[in-house]
Structure 1
Amino acid sequence: MRPETQNGKPDSAADAEILALMAMGWTLIDGRRADRLLALTGLDADALRAGVGNRAILAAVLAFLADHEPDLVACAEAIDSSPAALIAAKENLSR
């Protein structure tokens, strides 16, 4: 299920979480990108597993993507979203 967006932004906190979870899945599929996520965020595999429902962890994954535009764009395309929606989701989850 793709979350609803209006003006390129998630309609709700739940939609922001769904986008973040989809982005997390996309990020972790590639071993090198996953290693980079862990190295740059200071998270480990256990923290990611435990943080699946944690807004701060989800926001950290989106911030990781936002800091590297090629990954942000590729992720958005892969999950049928937009970079703007991912950034809006990060902002929503960071509140």
Structure 2
Amino acid sequence: MASSSALAALGASVTLVAGDPTDIYPGQTTRLQITLSNNNTAGPVSATAFSSSLPGSLPNGLRISGPATYTCAAAGGGAAPTSGTLTAPVGSQT
């Protein structure tokens, strides 16, 4: 029986955008930056999903207040990223 090992090492972090408020009061907004990275240059990352819910519960918990955007860039100048999908419906927590 042949064996194989996973070469891709997916890294994920969620941080506040620099300069945005760290204390959020009712009616205020802040922005989060989600960074996904492949920490192993020997293999690509494909067919990958990431999910993270905002704290609290609706209607009073944190929720998405505007359309989500993303950028995708090759950090090492190697193969260029091809595509991606970001789903974060306004008013939801995911």
Name the TM-score class by shorter chain.
Answer: under 0.3
Higher strand share: 2
**Rg larger for:** 2
The structure with higher relative contact order (CA 8 Å, sep 6+) is 1
TM-score, normalised relative to structure 1: 0.26
Higher helix share: 1
